[in-house]
């Protein structure tokens, strides 16, 4: 609709300016055209159709969801629109929205972001969102609800379970005991898919009591984390005290990994 109105406005201006120029070239009476009752209204209509839709578009884009269901958004892409409100830039984001207990889906939002917070809005970052209960595609930034580590981890666990990670492993990650382990040996077993690889690991694990024990485990990790799992390195693990062979690796995730986990859209 905005493009249609803009086109009509340009045609109106072209007619208002072009007709007198044509008459001037051909020797016609320019003043007679300018004095016509339709001339000035057509000029004003043309100007209005060019500028008002742009102004209204900017105004309406500033309206955001201020209440609704809490969610987490993974930023896929971000750019500044060129609009500034009170010297604060407006941004446009493409995000993957994840609500607890629901499938992820893509959405877009516009928001005015304080300059002091702009660095937090980068591709791969998680941001707190509010989702309209009437229309899930309408989302806004929840400035009062920063994403806590516990909330992000809970959603991450939920999405990992949906992608095939067993609930038992998720339970170990949340309920187990932390320790450090030295990698004695690592044997690649082959790719699981484009993002993951399977490894056979021999770990020398030091328990909080100071006791050291050796465990052999088979694990699937993101390929981007492979550099963290090399022979001789020390990593953090979370294990069950009653069965230390039941453990998960505590590795740092890259933004691409989060994209893969949260990017499963409906």
Residue 265 phi, psi dihedral angles, 5° rounding: -100, 155
Res. 203 pLDDT band, cuts 50 70 90 = very high
pLDDT value of position 266: 44
Secondary structure (DSSP) of 92-113:
EEEEEEE-TTS-BEEEEEEEE-
Whether the per-residue pLDDT at 147 is higher than 60: the answer is no
Cα(194)–Cα(50) distance, integer angstroms: 49
Most confident of 44-48, 154-158, 260-264: 44-48
pLDDT value of position 184: 94
Res. 84 pLDDT band, cuts 50 70 90 = confident
Cα(263)–Cα(266) distance, integer angstroms: 9
Res. 57 pLDDT band, cuts 50 70 90 = low
Res. 194 pLDDT band, cuts 50 70 90 = confident
Residue 128 C-alpha from the chain's centroid: 10
211-218 long-range contacts, CB within 8 A, separation 24+: 213/244, 214/184, 215/181, 215/244, 215/245, 215/247, 216/245, 217/245, 217/247, 218/189
Most confident of 32-46, 155-169, 224-238: 224-238
Cα(145)–Cα(135) distance, integer angstroms: 20
pLDDT value of position 59: 47
pLDDT value of position 230: 92
**Least-confidence region, from 39-48, 219-228, 238-247:** 39-48
pLDDT value of position 47: 77
Contact between 53 and 5 under an 8 Å Cβ cutoff? The reply is yes
- More confident: 152 or 107: 107
Chain mean pLDDT for the chain: 77
pLDDT value of position 201: 93
pLDDT value of position 188: 92
Res. 62 pLDDT band, cuts 50 70 90 = very low
């Amino acid at each position: 609709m905005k493009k249609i109105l803009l086109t009509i406005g340009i045609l109106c201006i072209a007619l208002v300016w072009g007709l007198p120029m044509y008459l001037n070239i051909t020797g016609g009476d320019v003043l007679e055209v300018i004095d016509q009752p339709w001339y000035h209204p057509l000029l004003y209509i043309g100007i209005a159709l060019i500028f008002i839709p742009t102004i209204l578009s900017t105004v309406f884009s500033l309206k955001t969801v201020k209440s609704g269901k809490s969610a987490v958004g993974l930023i896929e892409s971000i750019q500044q629109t060129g609009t500034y409100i009170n010297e604060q830039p407006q941004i446009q984001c493409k995000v993957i929205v994840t609500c607890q207990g629901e499938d992820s889906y893509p959405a877009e939002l516009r928001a005015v972001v304080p300059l002091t917070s702009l660095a937090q809005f980068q591709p791969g970052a998680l941001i707190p969102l509010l989702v309209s209960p009437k229309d899930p595609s309408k989302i806004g930034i929840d400035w009062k609800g920063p994403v806590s580590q516990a909330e992000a981890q809970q959603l991450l666990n939920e999405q990992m379970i949906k992608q095939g990670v067993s609930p038992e492993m998720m339970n170990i990650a949340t309920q187990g005991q932390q320790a450090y382990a030295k990698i004695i040996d690592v044997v690649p077993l082959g790719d699981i898919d484009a993002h993951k690889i399977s490894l056979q690991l021999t770990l020398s694990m030091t328990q909080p009591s100071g006791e050291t024990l050796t465990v052999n485990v088979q694990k699937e990790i993101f390929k981007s984390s492979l550099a963290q799992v090399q022979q001789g390195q020390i990593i953090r693990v979370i294990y069950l005290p009653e069965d230390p062979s039941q453990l998960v690796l505590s590795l740092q995730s890259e933004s691409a990994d989060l994209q893969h986990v949260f990017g499963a859209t409906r």
